A = this chain, B = another copy of it.
Amino acid sequence: MIELDESPTMVTVGASLFADALSAQVASPLQVQWAPPVPGSDADLAVIAADGRTHAASAESVRRLTAASPRWVDVVPAREALGLGPREFLHAGPPVAWADASGPIRGALAGAMIYEGLAENFEEAGRIAAQGGISLEPCHSRSAVGPMAGVVSASMPVSVIEDEENGRRAYCTLNEGLGKVLRYGAYSPEVIDRLRWLERVLAPLLGATLRKRGPVDVRSLIAQALQMGDECHNRNRAATSLLLREITPDMLESGARSEDIVAAFRFINGNDHFFLNLSMPAGKVAADAGRDIPGSTMVVAMARNGTEFGIQVSGTGDEWFTAPAPPVKGLYFPGFGPEDAGLDIGDSTITETTGIGGFAMATAPAIVLFVGGDVSDALENTLRMYEITLAEHPFYKVPILGFRGTPTGIDATLVVRSGVLPAVNTGIAGREPGVGQVGAGLVVPPMSVFVDAARALARRAAPQGAPGRSESRNQ
């Protein structure tokens, strides 16, 4: 008989290979292996590299982004929070006119017009919109973000996210749940009825709960959820669970009608994506903290409207760099296939912009069952993103990588220089208005938007030691 004084050592070759490979990578920084820069971009990259401001400006951008402390403080009507007029509508992605709008955006706009009492049906809404009877603006232009079509109208309630560091605010609608929903371009009566329930029952209850309990620390919830298998873009099951634990006691004591409280709990409980509409504005308020620093090459927005994919960069203000929206490679719901799919859409890429979502897929291996691929893809996505980012997030950690911070703060010039594009996972909307979600998958952003951003950064670059060439920060 033998008694061991301590834990026996490894006895399998395979296991130790795995553990060794892991420890080696956890213990030391990844070796960086540059690919040649995108042809034609060398001159721009050289000018930016010679700009004495670049390094410090980008470092300050990502410092501000990662220092943000987003808190959920209230739920109020969009007309109040965003100053939206009765005929003003926001949408996801870079600017787009009705004539160029994708099916999901048209469907969602029509639904929002019906909801606001501006139209009776899709056809009437389309006529009014085509005649310029409504005004369209990106969510991003009003400190807001919207998943998928991202349509916001005056009566819709929005969550208010406040950065405790600097008082800045960002906004997002409440998540409507699954199935036929406005954000995927559906506009049937059940969709409109649900929007009214959100406005009349859920929003006042959540607002009252938050005012009673005080702010919910969204950064802490994301940090915990990343240790519980979420990446907080397409997997939010842990975060939604933790959120319910945070708010339920005060919801119960809010003084609201008991049947409304039960309905609210069941509604949130029935939709694991509920938290997405908080992780998105949490990202927005953090990314906005890093905006408008002359010389900074950090991406502060990536967003798509189903027609175009666009980015904004800190050093180039509100300018959008756009290219045609790419298709999504993924898994389809039963009854749908690639021929039913719209192009890439939504502001939810704000998650990747701020170090979670596709950038944190190593925290969420189970997500491959939803978006496709296998577990090693999830790990590789995260590891690859360290190549193009400015920092490792101080609060968002990847347990399986030895609690390394998630790769955070995309450097547009590193993307161009390395040829590595941001890893994005996403839902897939039906291409026609009215259909809804048809699947989920992975998308590769167009390289040209990063090349164009580098060109614009180069145009504004200051010679070494001199101030920047550009007078105005907004074009």
Q: Which A residues fall within an 8 A CB radius of B?
A: 1-4, 6-8, 10-26, 30-33, 35, 38-41, 224, 227-230, 237-238, 241-242, 244-245, 248-249, 252-253, 258, 261-262, 265-266, 269, 323, 329, 365-366, 374-376, 379-380, 383-384, 387, 399-403, 418-421, 423, 442, 444, 446-448, 451
Decide if A12 touches B265 in the complex (CB within 8 Å): no
Q: How many copies does the complex hold?
A: 2
Which B-chain residue is minimally distant from A29 (CB atoms)?
A: B14
Decide if A14 touches B24 in the complex (CB within 8 Å): yes
Contacts of A323 in B (CB 8 A): 3
Partner of A249, one of B230, B241, B262, B448: B262
Decide if A4 touches B375 in the complex (CB within 8 Å): no
Decide if B17 touches A33 in the complex (CB within 8 Å): no
Contacts of A25 in B (CB 8 A): 14-15, 17-18
Measured between alpha carbons, how far is A14 from B386 in the docked complex, in Å? 12
Contacts of A18 in B (CB 8 A): 21-22, 25, 379, 383
Contacts of A442 in B (CB 8 A): 7
Decide if A3 touches B447 in the complex (CB within 8 Å): yes
Contacts of A20 in B (CB 8 A): 21
Decide if A11 touches B384 in the complex (CB within 8 Å): yes
Decide if A366 touches B227 in the complex (CB within 8 Å): yes
List 4 tightest A-B contacts by C-beta distance, closest first.
A241-B241, A365-B399, A15-B383, A19-B376
Measured between alpha carbons, how far is A401 from B18 in the docked complex, in Å? 10
Contacts of A4 in B (CB 8 A): 419, 421, 444, 447
| A384, A418, A446 interface centre (most CB from chain B within 10 Å) | A384
Decide if A15 touches B30 in the complex (CB within 8 Å): yes
Decide if A3 touches B365 in the complex (CB within 8 Å): no
| A19, A41, A258 interface centre (most CB from chain B within 10 Å) | A19
A253 in contact with B262 given A25-B18, A384-B11 (CB within 8 Å): yes
Decide if B241 touches A1 in the complex (CB within 8 Å): no
Decide if A376 touches B22 in the complex (CB within 8 Å): yes
Partner of A248, one of B1, B10, B265: B265
Which B-chain residue is minimally distant from A363 (CB atoms)?
A: B229
Decide if A420 touches B11 in the complex (CB within 8 Å): yes
Contacts of A39 in B (CB 8 A): 1-2
A12 in contact with B33 given A244-B244, A447-B3 (CB within 8 Å): yes
Decide if B2 touches A419 in the complex (CB within 8 Å): yes
Partner of A245, one of B30, B241, B252, B375: B241
Decide if B252 touches A22 in the complex (CB within 8 Å): no
| A12, A253, A384 interface centre (most CB from chain B within 10 Å) | A12
CB distance from A228 to the nearest CB of B (A): 4
A26 in contact with B244 given A7-B442, A32-B12 (CB within 8 Å): no
18 contacts between A and B (CB under 8 A): A1-B38, A1-B40, A1-B448, A7-B442, A7-B444, A11-B387, A11-B418, A12-B32, A13-B31, A14-B25, A14-B383, A15-B384, A18-B25, A22-B379, A224-B237, A229-B399, A241-B245, A365-B400
Measured between alpha carbons, how far is A22 from B403 in the docked complex, in Å? 18
Measured between alpha carbons, how far is A241 from B376 in the docked complex, in Å? 28
CB distance from A40 to the nearest CB of B (A): 6
Decide if B249 touches A266 in the complex (CB within 8 Å): yes
Contacts of A12 in B (CB 8 A): 30-33, 383-384, 387
Which B-chain residue is minimally distant from A381 (CB atoms)?
A: B7
Measured between alpha carbons, how far is A399 from B2 in the docked complex, in Å? 35
Measured between alpha carbons, how far is A7 from B419 in the docked complex, in Å? 10
